[in-house]
Amino acid sequence: MIALGLALAGLALILGSEALARRYERRYVIGRILAVAPQVTLEEAIALAHSGQRRYVRVHGRITSEEEFPDENDRPLVYRRKRLEIAADGRRRRILADDVEGVPFGLESRGASVAVDAAALNEGLVVLERESVGRVADLPAEVDRAGAAPEAVARLVVEQVSAVEHAFVCGVPQRQPDGRVVITSGARRPLILTTLDVPAAMRVLAARRRVPATILGALVVFGVVLLAAALVAAVIELL
Domain for residue 67, yes or no?
Answer: yes
Q: What is the pLDDT of residues 198-238, one digit of tens each?
A: 989 988 887 655 445 566 667 777 777 777 877 877 777 77
How far is the CA of 155 from the CAs of 96, 141, 151, in angstroms? 10, 16, 12
State the amino acid at position 48 in one-letter form: L
| Per-residue pLDDT tens over the stretch 154-208 | 888 899 999 999 999 999 999 999 999 999 999 889 999 999 999 899 888 876 5
Residue 111 lies in a domain: yes
- Digit-coded pLDDT (tens) for 101-129: 999 999 999 899 999 999 999 889 999 98
Residue 17 maps to a domain = no
Question: Is pLDDT larger for residue 52 or for residue 10?
Answer: 52
Q: Which residues form the domain of 158?
A: 39-196
Dist CA 138 CA 153 (whole Å) = 10
Question: Quick one: pLDDT at residue 163?
Answer: 93
Q: Could you report the per-residue pLDDT of 26-40, keeping only the tens digit for each?
A: 777 888 899 899 999
CA distance 211 to 113: 40
**Count of CA atoms in the C-beta half-sphere (13 A) of 16:** 13
Any domain includes 202? no
Alpha helices in 176-209 (DSSP H): 198-206
Distances (CA, A) of 159 to 29, 43, 215: 20, 29, 28
- Total domains in the chain come to 1
pTM over 0.85: no
Q: Burial of 121 by CB count in 10 Å (0-12 exposed, 13-18 middle, 19+ buried)?
A: buried
What pLDDT, on a 0 to 100 scale, did the predictor assign at position 146? 62
Predicted local confidence at residue 119, as pLDDT = 92
Q: Does 76 reside within a domain?
A: yes
Residue 90's pLDDT band, with cuts at 50, 70 and 90, is low
Alpha helix locations (H) across 25-137? 26-36, 42-51
| Residue 51 forms part of a structural domain | yes
